[in-house]
Amino acid sequence: MFDDTRLSRAGTDSDGNSGILNPPVYRASTIHFPTIEAFDTRFERRFDDVVYGSYGTPTTKALEAAVTEIENGSRSIVLASGTAAITLSFIACLKSGDHVLVTDSAYKSTRTLCETLMARLGVEASYFRPDAGSAIEDDIRPETRLVFLESPGSYTFEVQDIPAITEVCRRRGVLTAIDNTWASPLFFKPLDHGVDISIQAATKYLCGHSDVMLGTIAVKDETLYRNIKDVATQFGNNVSPGDCYLALRGMRTMGVRLRQHQETALRLVEWFAARPEVAEVIYPAWPSDPGHEIWKRDFYGASGLFGVVLNPASKAAVAALVEGRKHFRIGASWGGFESLMIPAYPTRSFATPPWDERGPLLRVHAGLEDSRDLIEDLERGFDGFHSAG
């Protein structure tokens, strides 16, 4: 079955709900049982049955089933946010004395997690070049337990050779996890490429309407699933069934939305690339992008998020371009229906030349507006850019 068909079927439950297609919002804390035996053994069945609100209700389980299906996994876990999914994966896989190798292009909060909580717990983190491929082997130490990937990278969109990295990690007995939020499981399927833990900030494209915070983790291995699920529950990771319902509703239109984000992003990238004020566009689907070949080999599409490096310009000129736009809002959380544009300041150990020596970097999210309106808005922005000098 193809993904669009799966999205329209996954997690729907017409049986037992009067023929209603969508699963209802089951709210629960207490679950009652018919016998003492069923009560006493409830936690043995916690991964499959509904035994307590904190392990999820049928609405949570419908969403988890749908995520499992599009991730080509065997189990999924719904969490309170993308950040919760990343943090709990680290905590479930790592203990004091372990080493974690993190892509240098990771989302800023992932770096912060390494430098604060993980350091306090006695876990050492180091960063590897996003273009490492199989050379990541040189960075693996005897105490390395986890390699954390993100492809393309936050802000700078480096595409990683995931199959080459997972081949090394499997051989060396090291777990791999990926923040796959940019592509979503529709445009890249990490578990098919040997990654152990596939993470989504479902806040973005999966929910898709800028109104829900949610994260998901998908895995193939049952022991890994049980470990992460128990840790998540120990941390009191309760997700509102109402939010799970909204996520399921978002998933129904995810395929069409993502294709539209991609089409608009490509139009905007083409337009930016032709502007004299622009030094470089960074978007894996763009043929001159350094990650284009790997993207073509491994991905099914590109989402709406890309970077624009301007030629050197004053702060006032950049502000005039970004501020006061009619259709591009200044906001961080992308993946919704709206277009966004923000200045970006990547933190990198290995960038050559360093990012702060290049021109100003903008991160743009192509929303679902008509690209003609977006381009007209950007033209006005560049008029202001020149007037501001």
Q: Write out the residues near ligand PLP by the rule CB under 6 A.
A: 81-83, 107, 154, 179, 181, 201, 203, 213, 215, 332-333
- Interacting residues of 184 by C-beta distance below 8 A, sequence separation 6+: 200, 204, 205, 206, 254, 258, 303
Closer CB to ligand PLP, residue 213 or residue 217?
A: 213
Residues making up the chain, counted from first to last: 389
The Cα–Cα gap between 307 and 157 comes to 8
Q: Which residue is nearest to ligand PLP (CB)?
A: 82
Q: How far is CA 55 from CA 48, 125, 237, 308, 330, in A?
A: 9, 31, 9, 43, 37
Q: Do 193 and 59 meet the contact criterion of CB atoms below 8 Å apart?
A: no
Count CA atoms within 13 Å of residue 124 on its CB side: 10
The Cα–Cα gap between 312 and 358 comes to 7
Closer CB to ligand PLP, residue 60 or residue 203?
A: 203
Minimum Å gap between C-beta 288 and ligand PLP is 23
DSSP symbol at 204: T
Closer CB to ligand PLP, residue 82 or residue 284?
A: 82
Minimum Å gap between C-beta 322 and ligand PLP is 18
Query: If we measure between CA atoms, which residue out of 363, 365, 344 comes closest to residue 355?
Result: 344
Minimum Å gap between C-beta 64 and ligand PLP is 17
Minimum Å gap between C-beta 149 and ligand PLP is 11
Minimum Å gap between C-beta 70 and ligand PLP is 18
Closer CB to ligand PLP, residue 215 or residue 367?
A: 215
Minimum Å gap between C-beta 47 and ligand PLP is 24
Closer CB to ligand PLP, residue 84 or residue 169?
A: 84
Closer CB to ligand PLP, residue 130 or residue 215?
A: 215
Three-class DSSP category at 355: helix
Closer CB to ligand PLP, residue 285 or residue 320?
A: 285
Place of tokens 């590897």: 128
The Cα–Cα gap between 235 and 229 comes to 10
Closer CB to ligand PLP, residue 73 or residue 336?
A: 336
Closer CB to ligand PLP, residue 201 or residue 281?
A: 201
Minimum Å gap between C-beta 145 and ligand PLP is 21
The Cα–Cα gap between 93 and 234 comes to 14
To which H or E segment does residue 58 belong?
A: helix 58-71
The Cα–Cα gap between 283 and 269 comes to 8
Decide: residue 384, CB within 10 A, 0-12 exposed, 13-18 middle, 19+ buried.
middle
Minimum Å gap between C-beta 62 and ligand PLP is 20
Minimum Å gap between C-beta 308 and ligand PLP is 17
